[in-house]
Structure 1
Amino acid sequence: MKIILSLFILVTSVCSLHAQNTKEDFSDDWAALSKYKKENELVGLPKKGEKRVVFLGSSIFEFWKQKDPAYFSNNAYLDRGISGQISPQLLIRFRQDVINLKPKAVIILAGSNDLAGNRGHVSNETILNNIKSMAELAKKNHIKVILCKYLPVYEYPWNKSLKGTAEQIIALNAAIVDYAESKNLTVLDYFTPLVDKRNGQKAEYTTDGVHPNLAGYKVMEVVTDAAIKKTIGK
């Protein structure tokens, strides 16, 4: 009986070790291209007459689809948000998660995680350069560009030691607007309808001062649809 039990333990251990060794390692996938790779393949190219729009960003977009999936499923909208991502990661994903999907337009929301210091401290100029690169890639591939004024943030709950967050967001938004106007690109203003008196998010629209709740997303949907209609019709 002891021999049988020992053999069973040995076989179980070997199988477990084999499973661990054969598990795919994504440590080299810094931009998380693997996240939407299969989904992109299933979606395929737009159908005739489809006015596809890709939402490219981080957690603000990723959580949006979780809180209000019908907004995306009832429209030709593809959510390609990945929580925690910074602007260079969005730039790396741009070909796979935007260009190859052949949308009519792309909505780019970038910069907050760069400023929050999730991966290191960067300047507004660095963020804007990545946004410019994405916009240029889109234009080259006949994709209309919608650039977002970032949502108001007074402070990041996970990095309260960071000072001047609201001012940084405001300065970044001003730079994005200046660039968009110089290139005749649509500006999607998420800042104005959500901002409170201290330049943070109104309490009734947010879960933590950074991410919207369902009511906040409903407000965003109104201005988003207006920007899309202005850009490609609807």
Structure 2
Amino acid sequence: MLARLTIFVLILMLLAIGWKAWAYRKSALSALRKVEVISERFTRTDFFEEDNRRWIDSGERPDVVFMGASITSRWNPEGKLGDLAVAQRGVGGQWPSHYLLRFRSDVVDLHPRAVVFKACAITFRPGVNDKGTRRAILDLTAEAEEAGIKPVLATCVPVREDGNTVYGSDGKKLPDGINDRMLPFNDWLRTLAAERGYPVIDFYRAMADDRGFLPADLAVDDIHPNDRGYEVMTATAKPILETLLGAGRG
């Protein structure tokens, strides 16, 4: 009798363990799916899926891909860089760490001759780590070179003076504004480019006023250039890219 009771209890325990394991697996899979959905929405790895497919199906390849955030997303230099074929791959709200997650689909799979990496002001908001940003740039340039793509570094466009102030989660003004973190990053980019032999498109120096900010006549808001500002960006990028790639398709 005792032996039967023991066996019965063991069976119940095994069933309970099996049920718990099944429920845990179901819960874990559900949580993983939610993470995947949130990650997909946040990183926007499929944002350019249709245009990427168009490039691949055409059998053509862009001469240069512009990888960036909101400033890049609003910029359309196609047809303004000589005969260079351009693919714009800017996604608003992203910083270089996000670029890594979509780099293969948005750049490598298109087989461009060059890729321009450009960060936006959001990269210097609270919660974004400067060391992580620099590491992402190093990883991006390494992946580009491994794929036979020429890396081009672009300095960040300065913010307008009224867009420089940053506040913490407690609502208090932080000691360092956006430009205070942007300037060392731009200097680091220039140094990296000199060490590695990468071209630099120096948007900052082309657009900053004598105080280091984005002039009002080049801005549509506190961060983004207006049409005239984008004309300056195009004029700054064109000679650098034509020197690197020639005036036409390779």
TM-score range, shorter chain: 0.7 to 0.9
> For structure 1, which runs of at least 5 residues remain unmatched after alignment?
1-24
In 2, are the aligned partners of 1:155 and 1:200 still within 8 Å (CA)?
no
Q: Does 1:177 align with 2:185?
A: no
Specify which of 49, 53, 56 is matched with residue 37 of structure 1.
Answer: 49
Instruction: Please give the alpha-carbon distance, in whole angstroms, between the structure 2 residues aligned to 1:72 and 1:193.
Output: 17
For residue 106 of structure 1, give the secondary structure of its aligned residue in structure 2: strand
1:108 paired with 2:117, answer: yes
Compared CA separation, residues 201 and 43, structure 1 to 2 (3 A):
same
**Percent sequence identity over aligned pairs:** 25
Cα 1:70/1:232, change in 2 over 3 Å: closer
One-letter amino acid of the counterpart of residue 140, structure 1: E
Cross-structure match for 1:146: 152
Q: Determine which structure has the larger helix proportion and give its number.
A: 2
CA distance, structure 2, for counterparts of residue 155 and residue 93 of structure 1: 32
**Between 201-210 and 211-220, the greater mean CA deviation after superposition:** 201-210
Question: What SS does structure 1 have at the residue aligned with 2:153?
Answer: strand
Counterparts of 1:69 and 1:179 in 2: how far apart (Å)? 28
8 Å contact 2:43–2:101 — kept in the other structure?
Answer: yes
TM-align CA RMSD? 2.5
Residue 239 (structure 2) pairs with residue 229 (structure 1): no
Q: 1:131 aligns with which of 124, 137, 150?
A: 137
Tell which structure's C-alpha radius of gyration is larger: 2
In 2, Cα distance between equivalents of 1:231 and 1:73: 13
SS in 1 for 2:47: helix
Cα distance in 2 for partners of 1:148, 1:46 equals 29
Aligned to 1:86: 95
State the match for 2:68 in structure 1. 57
1:51/1:89 CA distance change after superposition, 3 Å: closer
Q: Which residue of 2 aligns with 1:156?
A: 163
- Kindly provide the CA deviation profile for residues 158-182 of structure 1, in whole angstroms up to 9, marking residues without a partner as x: 9464433222111100011111111
Aligned partner letter, 2:121: S
- Note the 1:10-25 alignment, pairs <5 A: none
3-state SS in 1 of match to 2:65: strand
Question: CA 1:51 to 1:31, structure 2 compared with 1: closer, same or farther past 3 Å?
Answer: closer
- The match for 2:128 is 121
Q: TM-score, normalised by structure 1?
A: 0.79
Q: Which residue type is aligned with residue 126 of structure 1?
A: G
Specify the code of the residue in structure 2 equivalent to 1:167.
Answer: D
User: Structure 1 residues 93 and 164, CA, compared in 2 at 3 Å: closer, same or farther?
Assistant: same
| Contact map agreement 1:54 1:105 (CA 8 A) in 2 | yes
The one-letter code of the counterpart of 1:139 is E
Aligned residue for 1:193, secondary structure, equals helix
**Per the alignment, in what secondary structure is the counterpart of residue 53 of structure 2?**
helix
Where does structure 2 lack aligned partners over 5 or more consecutive residues? 1-35, 168-172
Give SS of 2:39's match. coil
Q: SS state of the match for residue 27, structure 1?
A: helix
Q: TM-score, normalised by structure 2?
A: 0.74
d(CA) in 2 for partners of 1:184, 1:71: 25
CA shift for structure 1 position 127: 1.1
| Further displaced range: 82-91 or 158-167 | 158-167
Aligned positions, number: 204
